[in-house]
């Protein structure tokens, strides 16, 4: 502990000293000549942060007229390093992150680390509003001010850009057993039973389970969806908004989940594994169903190609949400809040940041950090639904593209544009978008950053109930404890914020 404290003090003093050494008396013109400092949590190994070695970044600098340097850090280390910079009084000019966006916005505003950006967008880059969903802007609006710049979406295909997920099944297992895609919750149970007990891979061994999940219950959410709720979304109940995992419908879904677990159709290790381990179970043909994103069934995602090394005929398919006992069906709506940018409260020239973002929002410039220069590195194919790669780095593997300066690390404000990819995964999109649930609130309120630990009360209670180590009364007591230990305040603030929008 002593060594960590010493290291922190040395780091902070070094940052402070370096700030003074750079010349605290610089005038505005000198500050404007300094490159903007962009702090990015997408740390791709081999990404060239030196401008001279980064052809793509150099092109963006030349075309936008804004000099910028990029510092990358791992997602796990992002918060710690940002707070160290804050303690030293040397914040980056702007930063880009993709975790707990609404909650981080509320916390960083409370700490005084960020500045409002609504007027900056209106005055210097109004075109950004054409790309950013209103729901995303609402989620980062506090006290009537916009405090972050969420990722944009292609206006021609907004729903297809969202990071949406659904239930995927081993289609070859369905075919092996002569089964159809399930339409109802009961039919899904029958499929999972067969995947567990009827030897779907034909190897003569009892070594498969119907459904897998990770310790955050992600896959098991599809059962709650059939009862019309998503655990972390908000629904109207008795005249006010209530979070999904606090509703009676969710309790009913837990009871069904426990029944399925006791029947053996859910992998018993679900409570002890992360998502990477869950994907490994898919690759090793140990489970036949899980919750996954739209890319999961496609060979572009790594799971299916690795699976096919062992099972060449393997197929994975996304299925529409199944109908539950009350006629409800639908997956959670897509997440409109992705890969967001914040401008530091210490940024001396935020207008230059907006100049850069305005350039990224013009024409196909948003594709430059992903694919390079149009006409040099890539071009649209004849149908306009895909790309032809022209330069050597884009014809290589991911490491070649990253070394050239492409990838998330250089996407200082991304536009999620998946239109050219959509034909390749159209079936997944159609399955997910066939039925979508509602969500009455996207965002964060101050109380969420104050009571950060209370969700663990619910998570632990849900898991213990599913695996048979507690009763439904224990679940209800956990829900009551959530309200008593801060959830009442969160709920009140959510309802107030929605009324005031």
Closest listed residue to residue 318, CA positions, set 473, 439, 174: 174
Predicted pLDDT of residue 405: 87
**CA 25 vs CA 19, 22, 28, 89, 347: distances in Å:** 11, 9, 10, 15, 16
19 versus 168: which is more confidently predicted?
168
500 versus 303: which is more confidently predicted?
303
11-25, 131-145, 244-258: least confident range:
11-25
pLDDT tens-digit profile of 44-77? 777 887 777 788 999 999 999 999 999 988 888 8
Q: What fold does the segment set 165-332 form as a domain?
A: D-Maltodextrin-Binding Protein; domain 2 (3.40.190)
Taking the complete model, does pTM exceed 0.85, yes or no? no
pLDDT tens-digit profile of 227-243? 999 998 999 999 999 99
**CA 26 vs CA 13, 38, 259, 351: distances in Å:** 21, 20, 68, 18
7 class by beta-carbon count within 10 Å (0-12 exposed, 13-18 middle, 19+ buried): exposed
Q: CA 25 from chain center: how many Å?
A: 41
H-assigned helices in 112-247: 118-124, 134-139, 158-161, 171-177, 185-197, 221-225
pLDDT band at 389 (very low <50, low <70, confident <90, very high): confident
Closest listed residue to residue 446, CA positions, set 83, 99, 103: 103
Average pLDDT of the segment spanning 317-336:
89
Using CA atoms, how far apart are residues 421 and 427, in angstroms rounded to an integer?
12
SS3 annotation, 321-350:
CCECCCCCCCECCCECCCCEEEEECCCCCH
DSSP-derived secondary structure letter, 188: H
Using CA atoms, how far apart are residues 321 and 323, in angstroms rounded to an integer?
7
**Phi then psi for 404, rounded to 5 degrees?**
-80, -15
Predicted pLDDT of residue 118: 96
Which residues make up the CATH 3.40.190.10 domain(s) of the chain? Answer: 29-158+337-424, 165-332
Predicted pLDDT of residue 24: 37
298 versus 359: which is more confidently predicted?
359
Using CA atoms, how far apart are residues 2 and 394, in angstroms rounded to an integer?
48
For the chain, what is the mean pLDDT? 86
Q: For a pLDDT cut of 70, what percent of the chain falls above it?
A: 89
pLDDT tens-digit profile of 251-285? 999 999 999 999 999 999 999 998 889 999 999 99
Closest listed residue to residue 294, CA positions, set 100, 416, 424: 424
Residue 1 scores a pLDDT above 70: no
Average pLDDT of the segment spanning 406-429:
77
Residue 181 scores a pLDDT above 80: yes
Biggest CA–CA distance in the chain, Å, is: 77
H-assigned helices in 125-267: 134-139, 158-161, 171-177, 185-197, 221-225, 248-262
36-45, 362-371, 492-501: least confident range:
36-45
Using CA atoms, how far apart are residues 425 and 432, in angstroms rounded to an integer?
11
165-174, 196-205, 356-365, 435-444: least confident range:
435-444
DSSP-derived secondary structure letter, 184: B
Predicted pLDDT of residue 13: 43
Which residue in this structure is represented by tokens 């339409």? 183
Average pLDDT of the segment spanning 107-131:
94
Average pLDDT of the segment spanning 362-385:
86
Predicted pLDDT of residue 420: 63
What dotted CATH number matches 29-158+337-424?
3.40.190.10
Predicted pLDDT of residue 496: 92
């Amino acid at each position: 502990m002593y060594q960590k404290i010493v290291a922190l003090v040395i780091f902070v003093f070094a940052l402070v000293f370096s700030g003074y050494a750079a010349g605290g008396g610089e005038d505005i013109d000198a500050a404007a000549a300094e490159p903007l400092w962009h702090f990015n949590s997408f740390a791709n190994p081999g990404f060239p942060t030196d401008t001279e070695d980064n052809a793509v970044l150099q092109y963006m600098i030349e075309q936008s007229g804004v000099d910028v340097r990029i510092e990358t850090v791992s997602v796990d280390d992002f918060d710690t390093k940002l707070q160290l910079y804050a303690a030293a009084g040397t914040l980056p000019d702007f930063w880009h992150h993709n975790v707990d966006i609404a909650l981080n916005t509320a916390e960083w505003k409370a700490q005084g680390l960020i500045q409002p950006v609504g007027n900056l967008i209106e005055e210097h880059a109004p075109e950004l509003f054409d790309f950013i969903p209103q729901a995303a802007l609402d989620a980062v609006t506090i006290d009537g001010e916009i405090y972050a710049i969420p990722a944009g979406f292609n206006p021609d295909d907004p729903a297809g850009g969202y990071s949406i997920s659904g239930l995927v099944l081993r289609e070859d297992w369905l075919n092996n057993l002569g089964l159809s895609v399930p339409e109802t919750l009961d039919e899904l149970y029958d499929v999972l039973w067969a995947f567990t007990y009827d030897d779907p891979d034909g190897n003569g061994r009892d070594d498969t389970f119907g459904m897998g999940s990770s310790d955050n219950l992600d896959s098991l959410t599809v059962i709650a969806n059939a009862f019309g709720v998503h655990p972390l979304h908000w629904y109207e109940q008795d005249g006010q908004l209530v979070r999904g995992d606090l509703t009676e419908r969710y309790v009913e879904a837990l009871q069904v989940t426990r029944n399925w677990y006791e029947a053996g159709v859910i992998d018993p290790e679900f409570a002890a594994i992360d998502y990477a381990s869950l994907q490994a179970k898919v690759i090793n043909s140990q489970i036949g169903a899980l919750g996954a994103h739209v890319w999961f069934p496609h060979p572009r995602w790594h799971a299916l190609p690795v699976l096919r090394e062992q099972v060449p005929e393997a197929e994975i398919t996304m299925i529409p949400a199944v109908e539950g006992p009350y006629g409800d069906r639908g997956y959670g709506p897509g997440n409109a809040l992705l890969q967001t940018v914040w401008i530091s409260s210490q940024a001396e020239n935020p207008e230059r940041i907006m100049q850069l973002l305005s350039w990224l929002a013009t024409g196909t410039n948003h594709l430059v950090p992903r694919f390079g220069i149009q006409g040099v590195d890539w071009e649209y194919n004849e149908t306009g639904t895909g790309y032809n790669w022209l330069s050597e780095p884009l014809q290589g593997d991911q490491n070649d593209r990253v070394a050239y300066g492409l990838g998330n690390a250089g996407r200082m404000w991304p536009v999620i544009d998946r239109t050219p990819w959509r034909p390749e995964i159209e079936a997944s999109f159609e399955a997910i978008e066939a039925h979508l649930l509602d969500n009455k609130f996207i965002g964060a309120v101050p109380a969420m950053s104050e009571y950060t630990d209370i969700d663990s009360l619910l998570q632990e209670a849900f898991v213990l109930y599913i695996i048979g180590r507690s009763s439904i009364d224990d679940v209800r007591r956990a829900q009551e404890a959530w309200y008593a230990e801060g959830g009442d305040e969160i709920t009140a603030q959510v309802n107030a914020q929605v009324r005031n929008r």
